[in-house]
């Protein structure tokens, strides 16, 4: 089974750049999108349904902002929209699909780069999220938690780490949170298969950063320890360019 996470930074924009053609050719079983920035009624669902997918949407209340969606060829037994907190659910940050054998979560974690207020919001979200998924894990031991985490976990995950220690996305408290996350029973799937540096999933639009591969790895498939034995491979598709992010593939069996 092939699962993809992809922050499209505006679904309508990504579609105009050939996203659906790429999905048809890549043919994932499940694709999780973040930052869709639209409502399904604004783009229609027929095109993705014609490719064999059921589409589940959780947009933000605010137009043109945030939002997540999951397209799946595997019918879920149950879909949960949101994480039972209106503050976060109004921003369309969390959707859960229960496939029976495992639970899949697609989350778009906040960025704190716009200022102190949003950084505080981000840290509160991170604590809430970890408590919430740990409670879920008691009921659903086999979990895949994919999405844009907006954090580089380790120095290997960001270019020039010494220059970014005071920037949101690589702050000590964010990285400490990620350490705690992993220690409570999770695995960074990509790093099981690839320990090489310079593996990034997001690049600034400034200073020709993508061409120079001056990037950040902030998009992840995190899996519970109980799911680890099912992992087959994980790769970053850095040459796919519908967004300032790129897709990350997880293969399971």
Determine what percent of the chain is predicted with pLDDT higher than 90: 100
Label residue 162 by pLDDT band (50, 70, 90): very high
- What is the model's pLDDT at position 71? 98
Nearest to 164 by CA among 223, 204, 121: 204
Tell which residue, 104, 102, 13, has the closest CA to residue 94: 104
Q: Which of 131, 148, 188, 244 is catalytic?
A: 148
CB 242 within 8 A of CB 8: yes
Give me the long-range contacts of 119-126 (CB less than 8 A, separation at least 24): 119/168, 119/171, 122/150, 122/168, 122/174, 123/173, 123/174, 123/177, 125/88, 125/93, 126/174, 126/177
pLDDT band for 22, please (50, 70, 90 cuts): very high
Please tell me the predicted confidence (pLDDT) of residue 127: 98
Q: How buried is residue 12: exposed, middle or buried, by Cβ count under 10 Å (0-12/13-18/19+)?
A: middle
| Mean pLDDT to the nearest integer, 145-166 | 98
Backbone angles phi, psi at 43, to 5 degrees: -125, -15
- pTM (two decimals): 0.98
Q: Which long-range contacts (CB under 8 A, 24 or more apart) does 56-64 make?
A: 56/81, 56/95, 56/97, 58/82, 58/92, 58/94, 58/95, 59/92, 60/90, 60/91, 60/92, 60/93, 61/90, 61/91, 61/92, 62/90, 62/91, 63/38, 63/39, 64/37, 64/38
Q: pLDDT tens across 44-86, in order?
A: 999 999 999 999 999 999 999 999 999 999 999 999 999 999 9
Q: Where are the domains of the chain?
A: 2-252
Q: Quick one: pLDDT at residue 172?
A: 98
CATH superfamily of 2-252: Endonuclease/exonuclease/phosphatase (3.60.10.10)
Average pLDDT across the chain, whole number:
98
Instruction: Note if 89 is an active site residue.
Output: no
CA distance 168 to 9: 18
- pLDDT, tens digit, 9 for 90 and up, residues 185-203: 999 999 999 999 999 999 9
Residue with tokens 């920037």: 167
| Range 119-144 average pLDDT | 98
Pairwise CA distance, residues 117 & 108, whole Å: 18
- What is the Cα–Cα distance from 188 to 25, expressed in whole angstroms? 26
pLDDT tier at 18, thresholds 50, 70, 90: very high
- According to DSSP, the residues that pair with 105 across neighbouring strands are 96, 145
């Amino acid at each position: 089974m092939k699962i993809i996470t992809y922050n499209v930074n505006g679904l309508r924009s990504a579609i105009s750049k050939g996203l659906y053609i790429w999905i048809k050719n890549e043919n994932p079983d499940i694709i999780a999108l973040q930052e869709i920035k639209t409502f399904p009624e604004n783009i229609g669902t027929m095109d993705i349904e014609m490719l064999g997918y059921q589409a589940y949407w959780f947009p933000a209340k605010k137009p043109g902002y945030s939002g997540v969606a999951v397209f799946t060829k595997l019918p879920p037994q149950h879909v949960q929209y949101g994480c039972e907190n209106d503050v976060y659910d109004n921003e369309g940050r969390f959707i859960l699909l229960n496939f029976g054998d495992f639970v899949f979560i697609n989350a778009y974690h906040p960025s704190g780069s716009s200022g102190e207020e949003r950084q505080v919001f981000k840290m509160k979200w991170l604590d809430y999220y970890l408590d919430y998924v740990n409670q879920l894990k008691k009921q659903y031991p086999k979990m895949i938690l994919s999405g844009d985490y907006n954090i580089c976990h380790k120095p290997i995950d960001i270019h020039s780490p010494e220059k970014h220690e005071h920037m949101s996305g690589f702050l000590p408290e964010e990285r400490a949170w990620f350490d705690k996350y992993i220690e409570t029973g999770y695995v960074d799937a990509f790093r099981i298969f690839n320990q090489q540096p310079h593996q990034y999933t997001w690049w600034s639009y400034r200073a020709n950063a993508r061409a120079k591969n001056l990037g950040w790895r902030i998009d992840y498939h995190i899996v519970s320890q109980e799911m680890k034995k099912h992992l087959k491979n994980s790769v970053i598709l850095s040459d796919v360019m519908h967004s300032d992010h790129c897709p990350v593939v997880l293969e399971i069996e």
